[in-house]
Amino acid sequence: MSLEYHQSKTIQLSARCKNDLPTVLDILKNDGLVALPTETVYGLAANGFSSAAILKVFKAKDRPANNPLILHTDNIEKASNLFDLSKIATKNRFLKLAHMFWPGPLTIVAKKRSHLPKEATAGLEQVAVRIPQNEVTNKILSCLDFPLVMPSANLSTRPSPTRAEHVLKTLDGRIDAVLDDGPCLVGIESTVVRIDNDVVEILRPGMIQPTEIETCLDEPVKNFAGVAKAPLCPGQSYLHYSPNVCVVKLYSKEDIDERWLYDDVIIAQKNIFSQKEKILGSRPKESVSIILNDDTLVFAQELYSALYQAEGYPKKQLSIVKPEGSEALAVLDRISRAVR
């Protein structure tokens, strides 16, 4: 059966088409790979109980084998069976978080049950689990008796996909199918929180804020100690998520003045473009301005599309102006990783 879905052609399926669901289930039950929509980004789904299927995910994405995957399920009972919740404090934290935030953009990392394939967790003692919020994907999960690993459905080091067309840009011919359900609502990956008996820690910022987790658990949460503490200056360099253009640089609102008259692609919020135009005049004719929403949540939704759009222009530099505002931490983290 799995030979039928061989890796040279990626079938394009639609969430609107009822007949496409059995095809998705068929592929997944036969260790194939399907990109599925979630509310955060599109994920590359495969049987999370099958080492063979998981190895195909690493190969299709060119993902280093030491980067563990998130297991996705559709209900709390199935999720709790993936964890070892024998420690009472861990169990209580898990139940509070799961009931408050699932289905939704939160991934919980905790001690794993021993039966899970080591390939999913990259050999770690802890496993990451999430219940996503997407009608068709949750329906698919409910029809399966195994969880799905779902890393973002992009080649490793490229931007995460928030539309089916982004998936095809980097994985066409490398996966069996993609299920199109339009643009993702959140637009950046889930918040990752680690819980064990002694500590609660944010491993990756996302749209669910540390303060929301603190309120839910009624205890302090160790915050993500990544990019927010580093100086956000031009030239900051990260490889992950880098779009396929020559130079990507991150600017503050103040520093972008120095790039305004260059032949760059500039991605910024609308209010920044209008402020700068008043002071500095129009940008050169050959330059490209990608205008994103002033609301940080909508900015996040549009960000990865803007990065893919920027790749379409043969320009020397992509300059991104960082957004301001309290929800910006996760967005800044993603932008910083696009910078190289």
**Residue 111 Cβ, how far from Mg ion at the closest point, in Å?**
23
Residue 143 sits in the site that holds ligand TXA (CB under 6 A): no
Tell me which of 32, 117, 147, 151 binds ligand TXA, using CB under 6 A: 151
Amino acid at 72: H
The token pair at 112 is: 């794993």
> Which residue from 116, 203, 216, 291 is in contact with ligand TXA, where contact means CB under 6 A?
203
Say how far apart CA 99 and CA 175 lie, in whole Å. Answer: 34
The reply on whether position 107 binds ligand TXA by CB under 6 A is yes
Binds Mg ion by CB under 5 A, chosen from 152, 191, 301, 336: 152
| SS3 category, 134 | coil
Question: What is the rounded distance in angstroms from the CA atom of residue 193 to the CA atom of residue 309?
Answer: 31
Q: Which residue is nearest to Mg ion (CB)?
A: 152
Q: Treating both helix axes as pointing N-terminal to C-terminal, what angle do 328-338 and 296-311 enclose, rounded to 10 degrees?
A: 10
Number of residues located near ligand TXA, criterion CB under 6 A: 25
Residue 334 binds to ligand TXA (criterion: CB under 6 A) = no
**Is residue 336 part of the contact set for ligand TXA (CB under 6 A)?**
no
| CA-closest candidate to residue 176, choices 56, 21, 40 | 56
- Sheet with 191-195: strands ordered across: 11-14, 177-180, 34-36, 43-47, 148-149, 70-72, 126-130, 106-111, 191-195, 200-204
- Residue 269 makes contact with ligand TXA by CB under 6 A: no
User: Measured from the CB atom, is 206 or 287 closer to ligand TXA?
Assistant: 206
Quick one: which of 90, 94, 100, 162 has its CA closest to 129?
94
3-state DSSP call for residue 202? Answer: strand
HSE of 15, CA atoms in CB hemisphere, 13 A: 20
126 sits near ligand TXA (criterion: CB under 6 A): yes
Q: Which is nearest to 250 in space by CA: 263, 266, 271?
A: 266
Q: Which of residues 171-200 bind ligand TXA (CB under 6 A)?
A: 189-190, 192
87-126 residues in contact with Mg ion (CB under 5 A) are: none
Kindly tell me which residue out of 68, 117, 161, 243 binds ligand TXA, with binding defined by CB under 6 A.
Answer: 68
Residue 68 binding partner per list ligand TXA, Mg ion, none, with a CB distance cut-off of 5 to 8 Å that depends on partner kind: ligand TXA
Give the one entry of Mg ion, ligand TXA, none that residue 32 binds, where binding means its C-beta sits below a cut-off of 5 to 8 angstroms depending on kind.
Answer: none
**Min CB(63)–ligand TXA separation in Å:** 8
| Identity of the residue numbered 56 | K
Q: Which one of 79, 97, 98, 127 is in contact with ligand TXA (CB under 6 A)?
A: 127
> Which residues sit at the interface with ligand TXA, rule CB under 6 A?
38, 40-41, 43, 67-70, 107, 109, 121, 124, 126-128, 130, 132, 150-152, 189-190, 192, 203-204
> Which residues sit at the interface with Mg ion, rule CB under 5 A?
152
